[in-house]
Structure formats: C-alpha cells, structure tokens
Structure 1
Amino acid sequence: MAPTSSKSSPRFDRTSAAILDAAAKVFSEEGTSANLATVAVTAGISRATLYRYYANREALLEALTADALDAVARRLADAGLERATVEDAIERVLRAFVAVGDRYAVLTGDQTTLEAAHGELAAPLHDLLARGIRTGVLRDDLPVEILYEFLAATILKAIKLNQRHRLGLEEASAAAARFFLDGTRARD
C-alpha cells in the first residue's frame, strides 16, 4: 500500500508516485528481483529516499500491487461495462488493462499476486462473460471460467505488445478484442 504517514505534502505524494512509476517500469522490464538501486535512479532519487518511503522490496511491491489494482478497478468502474454491448465492453476491458500496462504487468510475474489481483478484478469480467453467453453473443460450450482464462491471457499479450511498442494502446486493445471475440463468438 502507499505509505501512510503524516507526510501528506504534495512533495511526498510526487516522490511516492515517481517511485511507483519507476518501479513499474523497472520491474516490468527486469522482473521483480531487479536491483532497487535501479528503481531509485529511474525515479531520480537516492536509495536512502527510496527506503524512507518503502522499507524493503516487499513493501514496494505491495504498494505497486495496490496501485495497479486500484488503477484497473477505477478504469473498469468508469467503463460502463453494464451499459455497453458485450463486444464494446470487452474492448473497454482490454483498453482498461492495457492502459495500466507496466503496473499490471508486474503483477503477472508473481502467480500469487496475480491470483489475488484476479480475485479482486474477476467479478465484473465474469459478469460480462456470463452476459455474453446468456445473450448469445459468446459461445455457450465453454464455461465462464474458461472464457475468463482466455480473456486474461489475451489481456496479458495485449499489454506485452503495447509495452514492446509493437502496437499502440488503442491498436493493441482493439486487436486483442477482435482476437478474443473471433475465438469466443457464438456459432450459428
């Protein structure tokens, strides 16, 4: 979680945000075992400052996880999934995850963290997929849990394509949505 300190000044918040941004970038490129000195340099601060904000790697990863989950959850809540068609909602889901990119990608390196993340984010996605099956948009020969696994894998691949600058955010989101829908659309 973000540091809870009496230091609620804008400077503290800016430094904390810079550390989380740097950690997301470094950890997504080098893995979560990357040297914290690299995180500090990327954030433009000293290692001592990094450790004043986050006592150790675990505290930094916990804060980054909370930040990523919060960012994705806010984007999903703002996406109006329940009001959109299933097809549009799936594209909005992909855009929400790809937009969070590095932060969310860090979660994928640790299976325990990823499972916890999906535990918190799964409900709206399961609801969307169930609606897709119920309305005949998505195939009914696969249960929601399997469709969810395919959607999660598609999300991760779209993030990687965007991170590697192979596709832009909108392009990666749209291509991934088409890919997912082409494979899961109900058959006539």
Structure 2
Amino acid sequence: MDSGDRDSGSVMRADGRRNRDQLMRAAQEVFAVQGTGASLREVARTAGVNVATLYRHFPTRDALLGALLGDGFDQLATRAQELAAKSDAAEGLWIWTRTLVDALSWYDGLPDSVSEALRDPNSPLHDRCERLRVAAAELLHRAQQSGQVRSDLGIDELLATSSAVARLARPAADPAAASERFLTLFIEGLTTA
C-alpha cells in the first residue's frame, strides 16, 4: 500500500468518526425535543448527513439509543452494585431509584424503549438494560433482606413503577418536583411498617 492509500483510509476513518459524532449530537438534540420515537430522517438531517450514513453507523433505532445511552446505563448498573455493598441497602435503593427515574426522564418515550429492549434479546440496547436490571435486582434483594422494604416487591415491578414515575413527571410544569413527589409516595408504599 502506498502512502496515498494510507492517507485516503485515514481520511475515511476520520470522516466516519466525525459523522458518527455528528449523528450522536443530533440524536441527543432531536430526542430531547421529540422523544425516542423521533424520525431518524430528522436525526440524519440535523447531523447534516444522509439517511444511508445514519444506517451505516446505526442500523436500528435501538443501536442509536444503545450508543447514546450506553455509558449512562453502565454507570447506573455500577452505582446499583456499589449501593448494594453498603450497609444501608434500603437507603441505597431509594437513592438509586431516584437516579433511575432521572435517567428515564432524559427523553420522552425512553421508558418504553427500555421496556421493549428488555423484552427483545436481539435488541442492541438489551444487554445494557439487562445488566442494569440484574444490578438493580441485587440491590433490591439486599434492601429486602434488611427488613425495610416489602418482600413481595419484584424487580420488574420496581422498574415498571420507576418508568411510570418518569412518564408522569416529564410533562409536569416542574418535572423534578413532580418526580420527587411521585417517588416519595411510591417509596412510602414500599417500606415495611
């Protein structure tokens, strides 16, 4: 290979990275306004690339969401593991649940996208969501062992309720205050007497 070929390959890789970064920024922008169900054509248009470029980098909506949410969801899973190791796992569960609700509020429609990904093992988002689910289940189990959390609460119920709180709070005039109020009601209902 001559140096011209190497330069050409480097330019293509740099262009590819630049396009991917533009698509990620555009997806954040479009999803923040229109939710996770937004048109992928709109994402490509906002990024200044054609739809074929978008699909070359992200063949499905879940692939784009997985790339966009991946690090944040991995951090949520790690945080659940850290809190499960603490002595007050019930307090850790409440802290983590608040963090989860905040994360599920990043984009309108995100709770539904996560639920669908958990049901579909072929989704590019599935593995990250499942890792988060497993870590949360361990945290819930530890909190239940403390006797401070109802023993009949399942992890899927905890995640579904957290998703519902995120959905309910998002359209409120003050989403953070609404989220806190709904979570307080939820948490008080889960604690043992």
TM-score (norm 2): 0.67
Give the paired residue count. Answer: 172
Aligned to 1:73: 74
User: In the alignment, residue 46 of structure 1 is paired with which amino acid?
Assistant: G
What RMSD, in angstroms, separates the aligned Cα atoms of the two structures? 3.4
For the pair shown, the structure with the greater C-alpha radius of gyration is: 2
Q: Distance in 2 between matches of 1:134 and 1:67?
A: 35
Q: How does 1:153-172 map to 2 (within 5 A)?
A: 153-169=160-176, 171-172=177-178
CA contact (8 A) 2:149 2:191 kept: yes
Aligned to 1:46: 48
Residue pair 1:28, 1:103 contacting (<8 A) in 2 also: yes
Give the aligned partner of residue 97 of structure 1: 100
**Does 1:182 find its partner at 2:185?**
no
Cα distance change on mapping 1:99 and 1:150 into 2, 3 Å: same
CA displacement, residues 91-118 of structure 1 (integer Å, 9 cap, x when unaligned): 3323332333245843624754133354
Cα offset, 1:173, TM superposition: 4.7
CA distance in 1: counterparts of 2:66 and 2:149, whole angstroms: 31
Q: Following TM superposition, by how much is the alpha carbon of 1:6 offset from its aligned partner in structure 2, in angstroms?
A: 2.7
Name stretches of at least 5 consecutive residues in structure 2 with no aligned partner: 1-11, 120-125
TM-score (norm 1): 0.69
Does structure 1 retain, via aligned residues, the 8 Å contact 2:111–2:163?
Answer: no
2:137 aligned partner: 126
Contact 2:23 2:54 in 1 (8 A): yes
Q: Deviations over 1:31-86 (max 9, x none)?
A: 3xx43333334xx33351x5324338743431213432431221342464132733
Q: Given the alignment of the two structures, is residue 135 of structure 1 paired with residue 152 of structure 2, yes or no?
A: no
Residue in 1 that maps onto 2:89:
86
Q: C-alpha offsets along residues 156-183 of structure 1, whole Å, 9 cap, x if unaligned?
A: 12222343144433x3553343223222
The partner residue of 2:13 within 6, 10, 13 is 6
Letter in 2 for 1:151: L
SS in 2 for 1:161: helix
Identical pairs, percent: 17
Partner SS, residue 7 of structure 1: helix
Letter in 2 for 1:182: E
CA distance in 1, matches of 2:87, 2:52: 44
Report the AA paired with residue 72 of structure 1.
F
